[in-house]
Amino acid sequence: MLGLMMNEPLRIAGLLEYAAKWHADTEIVSRMPEGGLHRYTYASLGQRSRQLANALTELGVRRGDRVATLAWNTHRHLELYYGISGMGAVCHTINPRLFFEQLVYIINHAEDRLLFFDLTFLPLVEKLAPLCPTVESWVLLTDRAHLPDSSFPVALRCYEDLVTAQAADYQWPVFDENTASSLCYTSGTTDQPKGVLYSHRSTLLHSYAASLPDCFNCSARDVVLPVVPMFHVNAWGIPYMAPLNGCKLVLPGPGLDAASLYELYETEGVTFTAGVPTIWFGLLTFMREKKLQFTTLRRMIVGGASCPPALLKAFDEELGVEIRHAWGMSETSPLGTVCTLKTKHLQLSEDEQFAVQTKQGRAIFGIDMKIVDDEDQELPHDGIAFGDLLVRGPFVVAEYFRSNHPGELTRSGWFRTGDVATIDPDGFMQITDRSKDVIKSGGEWISSIELENLAIAHPQVAEAAVIGMPHPKWSERPLLVVVRKPEATVSKEELLAFYDGKVATWWKPDAVEFVDQLPHTATGKLLKTQLRKDFAGYSF
């Protein structure tokens, strides 16, 4: 027997029309790549997204077509999120931080038909255009006054001309909620990037999940500034979560330096923000130097990479911001876990509470997870056993876009994250490593992340990486690779001694090497495959 409720498909356009109608005068403020701030409302976002959908129709875009963006967080990018997905096409957000060959690969793999880009990326697009034959039109996200004289090989279109020429009376089509809505390629450290193809349904369910009190906890009284880029994993779902809750949105455009961010936090009354650890390190250093405090900022999310405990402590104690550690990946839309305490933790000492807060957190509703050993046997939730982390749920990837290995991903009904983790009896998950990076010493596993976090806590260490190097007796042993701060004098012996009493003796790295810099992926994560190549043939 079926329920007798209205069968209205979940659609992204519904979020937009909700905000345009019920939060019509709530503001969206953007720092523009052309300079200056742009300010309008959800009502205007609704109107302009409908105009854009008319323009896309006129350009011949059909349902299921991929339409690409190469853009900062601005109101125009937001219009593309809604205009493209709303009409039933696929909004393919491209991450400009990927390597050039990867960009060429994904545009051709996705067969993008149109590509919308910010002025900043004109030099990049000039190089891409000849190599991307599927792209029929290249649209500059600007107005006529800012159109540059370009020796562009194909005709450039002007976004403002396209949009303003259209009427605003567009009727969003109704279609199956499982229709593809947007596409994001994961950077991948070894293989070619792989496309995660989100649906209207997965996006809507993820937006509800993101809104929950133990997740982002945002309301119509919040002012939200996503530092996480809209060009990668949909800025952690904030562009959808904000209209669902009627939050004021502040979009930082290309201004991701600490001074520009701090200015927006203060002038726009921001209460909630989200970003990766590197950004927060920069902001912390800036605020310490200038002796600044926040007036309105109350909560922030840190994720995308393991957050060193020292950073969590500094924001909480020095700047009075509740900082929540979160874990996720492109394949999980991306939110998987967020760390907030349960009632039972409130009786614990501050140090004990803090130990919980450094973990990646509890599964949000919509995500189920487990850890398994090498034989795929489930491991206990004791906070000690660690194994491969597997997840499943309605906003977890089932198959990569145009995969060469259909059915491979979730044959078991679970997605293998490639992360290694523990889960404690209260359900708090802690990442100990990427499965490729875990160090296997004498049949036991050593967490490279834990060793790195300890090294970074040393006042003279700027950055640290720990990799497993072949060892005749133990099969692998940890090697600590360190970038020292300018003028630091700390010796290798002192760094090794710094581990005493903090980890089991057999976890202590066997050796330390100093380098000027560490290799990173296009998205700023440590590129350990390269580091292992750099140290190939190393002997302790």
Query: Which residues are catalytic, by number?
Result: 186, 331, 440, 445
Q: Which is nearer to ligand ADP, 172 or 400 (CB)?
A: 400
Does 422 engage in binding with ligand ADP (CB under 6 A)?
no
**Three-state secondary structure readout of 43-57:** HHHHHHHHHHHHHHH
The answer to whether 276 and 283 have CB atoms below 8 angstroms apart is no
Q: Which two tokens stand for residue 216?
A: 């982002």
Does 419 engage in binding with ligand ADP (CB under 6 A)?
yes
In the complex, the smallest distance separating the C-beta of residue 380 from ligand ADP, rounded to whole angstroms, is 22
Among 231, 268, 523, 526, binds ligand ADP (CB under 6 A): 523
Q: Which is nearer to ligand ADP, 159 or 415 (CB)?
A: 415
Among 271, 360, 447, 448, binds ligand ADP (CB under 6 A): 360
Does 186 engage in binding with ligand ADP (CB under 6 A)?
yes
CA distance 74 to 159: 13
Q: Which is nearer to ligand ADP, 50 or 325 (CB)?
A: 325
Q: Which is nearer to ligand ADP, 325 or 508 (CB)?
A: 325
Of 42-50, 71-79, 155-163, 328-336, the segment contacting ligand ADP by CB under 6 A is 328-336
Which string of b and e fits 334-352 if b means at least 16 CB within 10 Å?
bbbbbbbbeeeeeeeeeee
In the complex, the smallest distance separating the C-beta of residue 527 from ligand ADP, rounded to whole angstroms, is 10
Does 310 engage in binding with ligand ADP (CB under 6 A)?
no
> Looking only at residues 429 through 458 of this chain, which bind ligand ADP when binding is defined by CB under 6 A?
431, 434
CA distance 132 to 134: 6
Q: Which is nearer to ligand ADP, 38 or 434 (CB)?
A: 434
In the complex, the smallest distance separating the C-beta of residue 468 from ligand ADP, rounded to whole angstroms, is 17
Does 327 engage in binding with ligand ADP (CB under 6 A)?
yes
The answer to whether 31 and 253 have CB atoms below 8 angstroms apart is yes
Strand (E) or helix (H) holding 353: helix 350-357
Where do the H-state alpha helices sit in 213-290?
238-245, 258-267, 277-290
Bridge partners (DSSP) of residue 185 are: 195
User: 16, 4, 77: which is closest to 41 by C-alpha?
Assistant: 16
Does 303 engage in binding with ligand ADP (CB under 6 A)?
yes
User: Going by C-beta distance under 8 Å and a sequence separation of 6 or more, which residues neighbour residue 179?
Assistant: 63, 64, 88, 199, 200
Does 237 engage in binding with ligand ADP (CB under 6 A)?
no
Does 97 engage in binding with ligand ADP (CB under 6 A)?
no
The answer to whether 81 and 249 have CB atoms below 8 angstroms apart is no
User: Going by C-beta distance under 8 Å and a sequence separation of 6 or more, which residues neighbour residue 290?
Assistant: none
Of 208-216, 313-321, 368-376, 414-422, the segment contacting ligand ADP by CB under 6 A is 414-422
Task: Provide the binding-site residues for ligand ADP, judged by CB under 6 A.
Answer: 186-187, 233, 303-306, 325-330, 334, 360, 417-419, 431, 434, 523
